Structure 1
Amino acid sequence: MQNLNQDESEPIQSGAEPDFVSDQVTEAKRYYLDLNPSPKDPLVVVCGGVERTRLDYEIDRQRFAYYGLEFVAEGQGDLTLGGEEYPLSSGSLFAYGPLTPHRIASRPPDRMRKYFVDIAGSEAKSLLEEAGLLDGKPLRAPRAHEMVELFDMLDREASGDADCASEICAQVLRLILTKIRLGCLAECPTMPRAYSTYERVREYLDVNFLTIHTIEEAAKQCDLTPIHLSRLFRRFGGMGAYQFLLRRKMDRAAELLLEENMLVKDVAEQLGFSDAFQFSRAFKRVHGLPPKQLVMSRKLSSVNGDD
């Protein structure tokens, strides 16, 4: 566990890795725009990124330097916010203020892939309050795939070389908060019933992807036809249901190969593939390279001291 109690008034030295950043992750893409923001600026994106948590991931803070906004794109976890406990799953949104105690943890055997952005400025608190994010409990993103697109946009703009990156990121953040306010607080009165079905099925796949081998199995468990299920994912998720299931399996496969040093054939068997060849083809389709090549590249990086 990392007990991180960064004082909100303590400046962070430029160029140093902030001590509130967790190393209990398997993958991380982070950016730092302004670690010592001026309180006179209306809205500042301090830093942010996306990370995939390890099984032992746990952040426990009594206070923080900024306001934080986090979005769970995949997996499950647990959140304690102001002394109350909540489950986290795909689509969960939550925020905390500088004086809000919070604990975020993985829920084994699952892991989370989550976005985060740390915020400062004179308008930060009011914008988060208007979005319903400082009420002491997490929200559900009405369109999770849209949140992923917006957070990816924020990451791209923050990682660019443009001189106006900070200004652009502040505008993207305003868009994210507006989307949350209009979608979550309005309880989505215009949301089609089909979207609720999509969220129910997506959550089922997110929890049970290790034991589901076909979309037909998932459709049966969710009282849908395979055609209806696929249409829901293409309409609201931007990808087919099988592609979503396969990505969840291959993300888990990468973790087993790199973190637990399992053999390719053993990972293939655990994930329900008939043979290692079939598994390797599926892995390459998702990650762009065969599993053995991924393992070898990681070993070479370790030998060369790149980790």
Structure 2
Amino acid sequence: MAKQNQESQVEPTFVSQQVTDARRYYLNLNPDPNRPLSVVCGGVERMRPEYVVKRVDFPFYAIEIVVEGEGSLNLNGKMSPLGPGSVFAYGPGVQHTIQNDPQNRMRKYYVDLSGKQVETLLQETGLIPWRVMKIFAIHEFIDLFEMLDREAREDSSVSYAVCETLARLLLLKITQRTVANGGNLPRSFETYQRIRTHLEKHYLRLNTIEEAAQECHVSSIYLSRLFKKFAGAGAYQFLLRLKMNSAAELLLDEGLLVKQVAAHLGYPDAFQFSRAFKRIYGVPPKQLLDSRHLR
């Protein structure tokens, strides 16, 4: 099926007109219901002050994420506030009313999906039973939605497949970045972001989490708890991956010897560096170098 024309396509009846600064794409308005997952359309909208959408039904499954402003959502009779980081879904037979705060207008991204697997995938994220959840690292979702927008406008034979893959990634990221119990982002998340930024900036000279904790004025135990809570992995694992990513670049792109990379990263010898490298990538650096010559 040919992709929908982005410029001449008449707005479908299910798309609200109570918005400003809208940017939308229409990928497949007649999806095959027997496919596992199809991206129908999507975009980003800033609500008008009077924005109210009230529906008793919807032809597809929709995922929406608020990135600015405030509002409220009545989802199957349950009222919830909306704000930055709010994510929710609705679908066929799901009654919903979305209302904007006229003093603090919402801006939100959305994508509409179809297919036999979509309901199961939404259940796996926790969005079903129908409810509002809270995500952190909003910039990661904005990047994903923007990528969906770009790929949906590509006139290529793989545009549908790329967009479907991005939609699945979006669902996984919702699972990964959901705040426990759907509450507001805690202040501790700001501390986590500050420490993460510090690690990303200074990973070459940092050798232990204790050093990072001291420089960020927190205890090493608290730092580790923050990474377990918000990253789902240990802080040292994150630091080590930063180091080994840099190591791989130096080995493959710069052509440095293993012992040179070990010294650059502050390891006392090539053996300890190789052991750390294998811990992250599953192969020693020498094997990585040998495989390069097989290409």
TM-score of the two chains, using structure 2 as the length reference: 0.59
Q: For residue 39 of structure 1, what is the amino acid of its counterpart?
A: P
Larger radius of gyration: 2
Match of 1:47 among 41, 58, 61: 41
Gaps in structure 1 of 5+ consecutive residues:
1-13, 200-227, 229-235, 237-307
The answer to whether the 8 Å contact 2:52/2:99 transfers is: yes
State the SS of the aligned residue for 1:157.
helix
Match of 2:105 among 88, 104, 111: 111
State the SS of the aligned residue for 2:123.
helix
The answer to whether the 8 Å contact 2:134/2:179 transfers is: no
The answer to whether the 8 Å contact 1:81/1:103 transfers is: yes
Partner of 2:32: 38
Partner of 2:22: 28
The answer to whether the 8 Å contact 1:141/1:147 transfers is: no
Matches of 1:96 and 1:78, distance apart in 2: 14
Partner of 2:84: 90
Matches of 2:191 and 2:18, distance apart in 1: 34
1:58 lines up with 2:52 in the alignment: yes
Matches of 1:78 and 1:192, distance apart in 2: 21
Match of 1:171 among 165, 179, 184: 165
1:151 lines up with 2:148 in the alignment: no
Partner of 1:286: none
The answer to whether the 8 Å contact 1:75/1:110 transfers is: yes
User: How far apart are residue 28 of structure 1 and its match?
Assistant: 0.5
User: How far apart are residue 95 of structure 1 and its match?
Assistant: 0.2
Matches of 1:76 and 1:20, distance apart in 2: 22
State the SS of the aligned residue for 2:147.
helix
User: How far apart are residue 155 of structure 1 and its match?
Assistant: 1.1
Q: CA RMSD for the aligned pairs?
A: 2.7
1:18 lines up with 2:12 in the alignment: yes
User: How far apart are residue 161 of structure 1 and its match?
Assistant: 2.1
Matches of 1:83 and 1:197, distance apart in 2: 36
Matches of 1:70 and 1:97, distance apart in 2: 12
State the SS of the aligned residue for 1:69.
strand
User: How far apart are residue 143 of structure 1 and its match?
Assistant: 1.5
Alignment of 1:191-230 (within 5 A): 194-195=188-189
Per-residue CA deviations over 1:73-106 (Å, capped at 9, x if unaligned) read 1111110000011100001000012110001111
User: How far apart are residue 15 of structure 1 and its match?
Assistant: 4.2
State the SS of the aligned residue for 1:147.
helix
Q: 1:108 to 1:16 in 2, by over 3 A?
A: closer
Gaps in structure 2 of 5+ consecutive residues:
1-7, 194-216, 218-229, 231-295
Partner of 2:114: 120
Per-residue CA deviations over 1:170-227 (Å, capped at 9, x if unaligned) read 0001001011113327779xx997425689xxxxxxxxxxxxxxxxxxxxxxxxxxxx
Question: Which ranges of 4 or more aligned residues in structure 1 deviate by more than 4 Å?
Answer: 185-188, 196-199
The answer to whether the 8 Å contact 1:43/1:122 transfers is: yes
User: How far apart are residue 22 of structure 1 and its match?
Assistant: 1.2
Partner of 1:257: none
State the SS of the aligned residue for 1:177.
helix
Matches of 2:179 and 2:105, distance apart in 1: 28
Match of 1:131 among 118, 122, 125: 125
Q: 1:192 to 1:75 in 2, by over 3 A?
A: closer
The answer to whether the 8 Å contact 1:77/1:88 transfers is: yes
State the SS of the aligned residue for 1:184.
coil
Q: For residue 121 of structure 1, what is the amino acid of its counterpart?
A: G
State the SS of the aligned residue for 1:181.
helix
Q: For residue 182 of structure 1, what is the amino acid of its counterpart?
A: Q
User: How far apart are residue 16 of structure 1 and its match?
Assistant: 3.5
The answer to whether the 8 Å contact 1:97/1:134 transfers is: no
Matches of 1:162 and 1:131, distance apart in 2: 30
Q: For residue 63 of structure 2, what is the amino acid of its counterpart?
A: L
1:142 lines up with 2:163 in the alignment: no
Q: For residue 48 of structure 2, what is the amino acid of its counterpart?
A: R
State the SS of the aligned residue for 2:151.
helix
Per-residue CA deviations over 1:97-121 (Å, capped at 9, x if unaligned) read 2110001111121111100111101
User: How far apart are residue 160 of structure 1 and its match?
Assistant: 2.0
